[in-house]
Amino acid sequence: MVRLRVQSFVPLQQLRDEFDRVLKSFIGDRPQWASRKPAAPTGFPALNMWEEADALKVEAELPGMKSEDLDISVQGGELILQGKMAAACDASTYHRHERASGDFRRVVRLPVDVATDKVEATLRDGILQITLPKAAAAMPHKINVTSA
Amino acid sequence: MTMNQTIEADGADAAPVEPTRGGNYFRPPVDILEQTNELIVLADMPGVTADGVDVHFEDGVLTISGRIAPQSTVERKYLLNEYGVGDFYRSFQVSDQVDPAQITAEMTGGVLKLRLPKAAAARPRKIVVQAK
């Protein structure tokens, strides 16, 4: 039996993701940019996210970030990163000022359900790595065929 | 010469000296601050530990480079790929107002901090007027 789920409201993001998915099935993966900066501007921090068999991994470069200034949460299928990058010094004369500082907030929609209680994050040498284990329902499940 | 000219970047993004190690090289963003007796250079080099940093000063050119740990060669199925990962390299022309023997470096949380003390001649000096 086919069950039809009727949704009265489709969030725009979901619609866009669906469009991307359909497009991808025609033209394949988008090109991997060789440049450090993406072609289109992104939020801060820039993220790399990839999928492994049992987890999603997210990495961001946050040099100089202190873990106590970083707040990470997973809510309603979204990963929320927020925090504050401290400025080097406010009293000096800057000859160059290229490093990022200030408050940031970034929200990313997660493509699969994750086990929110098992999410882990580490901040080492200025690199934040978040491991989001997939929820049991989102894991590939092998069905053993028994011969009668 | 003003202190504004003390440090000048080499300008071009391309590294003037080709490193032997292959792979991508990036130009780390820096802050350069001037304080009374020293210049401070902060460079973002995430993923680089103290062992991977090389600071070199020769003929008035300060060169910083940072090597990251070898990356996994397993092909990743990227859902977002917004930045590239690689080693870091950048060089600066430093005037002789900096005392090269006194340069110190430390690496914390992916940020390299260099202290370049000004040469004695470049430090502000207060002349005490003696009353007779």
In percent, how much of chain B has pLDDT > 70? 82
- Phi/psi-derived region of residue A39, left when phi > 0, alpha when psi is between -120 and 50, beta in every other case: alpha
CB contact under 8 A, A127 and B108: no
Q: Which amino acid is at B5?
A: Q
CATH number for the segment(s) A45-87+100-139? 2.60.40.790
Measured in angstroms, the CA of A13 and the nearest CA of chain B are apart by: 15
Q: Identify the DSSP state of B110.
A: T
Average pLDDT, integer, range B14-42: 79
Residue B9 has pLDDT above 50, yes or no: no
Q: What is the mean pLDDT of chain B?
A: 82
CATH number for the segment(s) B3-122? 2.60.40.790
Residue B122 has pLDDT above 70, yes or no: yes
Q: H or E element: which one contains B57?
A: strand B53-58
Report domain extents, chain A: 45-87+100-139
Alpha-carbon distance B120 to B79, whole Å? 54
Which has the closest alpha carbon to A103: A30, A44, A34? A44
Alpha-carbon distance B81 to A47, whole Å? 7
> What ipTM is given for this predicted complex?
0.76
CB contact under 8 A, B110 and A125: yes
Name the residue with higher pLDDT: B4 or B91.
B91
Tens-place pLDDT, residues B44-68: 999 999 999 999 888 888 999 999 9
pLDDT at B1: 37
pLDDT at B112: 96
pLDDT at B73: 81
In DSSP notation, A10-61 reads --HHHHHHHHHHHHHHHH-SPPPP-SSS-SS---SS-EEEEE-SSEEEEEEE
Which residues of chain A have a pLDDT value below 50?
Answer: 1, 4-9, 29-35
Alpha-carbon distance B93 to B122, whole Å? 17
Alpha-carbon distance B92 to B5, whole Å? 11
CB contact under 8 A, A98 and B29: yes
DSSP-derived 3-state class of residue B83: coil
Shortest CB distance from B46 goes to which of A92, A96, A125?
Answer: A125
Tens-place pLDDT, residues B81-104: 999 898 999 999 887 688 888 899
pLDDT at A22: 61
Shortest CB distance from A126 goes to which of B7, B40, B47?
Answer: B47
Where residue B127 falls among pLDDT bands split at 50, 70, 90?
confident
